[in-house]
Structures are given as C-alpha cells and as structure tokens.
Amino acid sequence: MLQRTKSHSWLPLIVWSVVLIALFHLFPLLHFAQPGLQENRVLASAPSVPRTMAEWSELPRRLDAFAIDNFAMRPYLISVLNLVRYKLGYSGSKRVVVGQDGWLFFDNDTHLGIVAGELRAPATEVANWARGFEQRRAYLQRRNAEFFMLVAPVKEDIFPEHRPSWMPRERVTTEIDDFLGALSPEDRARVADPRDTIIARKHEAILYDQFDTHWTGLGAYLGYQALMEVMSRRYPDMTALPASAFTPTPQAPNRMQRDLALMLGISNFIKQDRVSYATIPENDPARTEFLGPRTDWTAPQIMHTESKGGRTLLLLRDSFSSELVPLLKPHFSRIISVHVQDGFFREDLVEKYRPDVVALVMIETGMRFSMDLKPALAQSIPPLP
C-alpha cells in the first residue's frame, strides 16, 4: 500500500511535465500576437556541426543559449514578467531604469551618472573637446562651410521630478556645461542648446513621454528653432518656420516611438499620445541616394529635397534626428545624412560633396565621445600658445 501511494505521488508531476512540453511545441499554432520586444542584442543562432575538439566542448553551451533564446513562449514570458516588474517599480533590463510615476530612462552604462553630475571629465579633457570643436570650425571655414552643433537633451535632465528615487531631484552642472563654458565666444555662438527652453515649456505640451528615450515632434521643434537661430547668424535668410508649416504624420501603434518599452517587452500594454513629424522612409526613395550597401535609416545617404535654396547640409546625426530631419528639409536642397556610428566628423564627405553647412546633432550625454582632437585638422588653426 505504501509503495502504491509513492508511485501515485509522481503522477501529477509526470502529467504536468507532459502538458508543459506539449504546450511549448503547440504554442506557435495558437497564433497569438507577437509582443513588442527588442532586446538590443543578437539572439543566439543554431550552432553549426562541430569540427574540432574545442567546438565540441563548446557545443553544450551554444545549444543551451540557442534553446533559451528561441523557444516559442520566451517573448511572452519576458513581456509578462517585465510588466509585473514595471508595475512594482523596477526594471527587467540593465539598459532601462524605472523612475517615479512609471517613467523609463535609458542607462548607457553610466547609471544616469552624467546628468547626476557624478561623472565629470577633467578640465584638460574638456579643453581638448573645445579645441576639437575649434579644429572642425576652422577646417570647414577654409572650405567655405560653417559648423554647428545641436545639444539634444536627455529626458532625465528635463524631468528631474520623474527621476528614480536614488537620483538627485534638482538639476546640477554637468560636463556638457563644462564644455560650453570652455568654448570661445565665436564657437559658443555655434552651439544650439535648447535645454532651458524645453524645461520652461515642458508643461505646455508632450515634449517627451515616459516610454521613449527621444523627444516628440514638438520637442524636436524647439530643438530645430534653437538650431536655426544659431545658423541664421551666419545665414540671415535661414530662419525657423512656424510650427504651423509642418504637418504631423499619423503613426500606427507599432510605429510609435517607444524604444524603452520595447526593451522591456511591455509596448503592447501601454498607451501613448505623441505628435510626430517623422516618416518611414525618411525621404522619397526616388530622391534618395544611398552611399553604400546599407539602406536603413542609419546608412550614409543623400536626400534630395524639394527646397529651392540650393544649399547642402552634411548632417552628422544620432537617433534624435529622426524627428528633426522633416523640419530641416525646407532649408536645404540636399541633406547628406550620416549616423555618428560611422564617424563623428567626416572629412571624406566634406571634400567630396562640399557642403555649405555641417551640423552635429548629439545627445547631451554623448559629448565625451564626439569631439575628439583630430590631428589631420590641426593645420587649420594656430597651435596653442
């Protein structure tokens, strides 16, 4: 009798194991909507047949990684688990930080330390950044071009009230302020810094939202105004157009900017209300010339616009420019678009296409990466005393 009781105790475990295994295999046949999940990494692929002893010893680990990354229910389990975590106030991704009131912030491996003022470059490095800016400006002026920069604010700088509880609740001086202070008056006049304007107007409209890193179309418009203001000092005819000159584009739910929610896999569970001017693709394909094999938005490309002004812009950009490009098109007949992942300054494109304007659009926390000294440009300016 005792032996029979023991054997019966294993029966529920066996049954549930069979049910779970069957569920994993049959789940794809149910055709549930795929949750929005973008982990910002390459999932493990199926390993090839080993050919060496080292590959054989590595095979179990690679098979485990492939199985973990590719079983059918994985995205759904991650999404539900991260939604529970989000509701409890913490993140299931090392790249995403949950702040107050459900706001999400991107962690670029500094744990928001730059905006918190915890990471500050030494004065010598900041001086080199200023020198790098001067090099670029002088190099371009020798080629009848002008150099400008737009600081794209991160939202933890604009919305300190929504920061995580462990961050300071007040804004502090950061290394972007150090950089601006180190520039000469001539170079400082070429940097568009819309932070104060955006902070002053953040309660008038949705300039950022809680689920995405980037500004909305309305936030980008304030950045565009600041950029056109500094450009107009060199080109008086280039002034910002009124907001009424631009038409917001309808965004399907799956096209709405929500990168932080996608990293967590909770994008299907959220609602957003943001104005956007961005289009997909960014320019008429018949009027776009790609400069290499890649054809995504980050690929080097030339956008031929309908502007009759005749000027050429070399736009050195990051993802904050997606909302900015539609606003710049009326001012330039040709926009050479290059993502900063392919270089923060492109002498090769300057020499080949002879732009009138070169503009660097850079997230404020990226300053430390974008303005390195360039020995090849040093001849453009006199040496330091």
Q: What is the tens place of the pLDDT at every residue in 73-126?
A: 566 666 777 788 888 888 888 899 999 999 999 998 899 999 999 999 999 999
pLDDT band at 1 (very low <50, low <70, confident <90, very high): very low
**88 inside domain:** no
Q: How many domains does the chain have?
A: 1
List, for residues 272-304, the tens digit of each pLDDT value. Answer: 788 999 998 999 999 999 999 999 999 999 999
Give the model's pLDDT for residue 276: 93
**284 inside domain:** yes
Mean pLDDT of 52-62: 77
pLDDT band at 246 (very low <50, low <70, confident <90, very high): very high
pLDDT band at 39 (very low <50, low <70, confident <90, very high): low
Give the model's pLDDT for residue 385: 43
Higher pLDDT, 267 or 174: 174
**349 inside domain:** yes
The answer, yes or no, to whether residue 333 has pLDDT greater than 90, is yes
**94 inside domain:** no
Mean pLDDT of 240-244: 97
Contact 150, 327 (CB under 8 A): no
- Give this prediction's pTM: 0.82
pLDDT band at 40 (very low <50, low <70, confident <90, very high): low
**293 inside domain:** yes
Domain that holds residue 321: 123-207+214-250+277-380
**36 inside domain:** no
The answer, yes or no, to whether residue 4 has pLDDT greater than 90, is no
Average predicted confidence (pLDDT) for the chain = 86
Q: Which residues pair with 312 in a beta bridge?
A: 334
**154 inside domain:** yes
Give the model's pLDDT for residue 7: 54
**357 inside domain:** yes
CA distance 212 to 322: 13
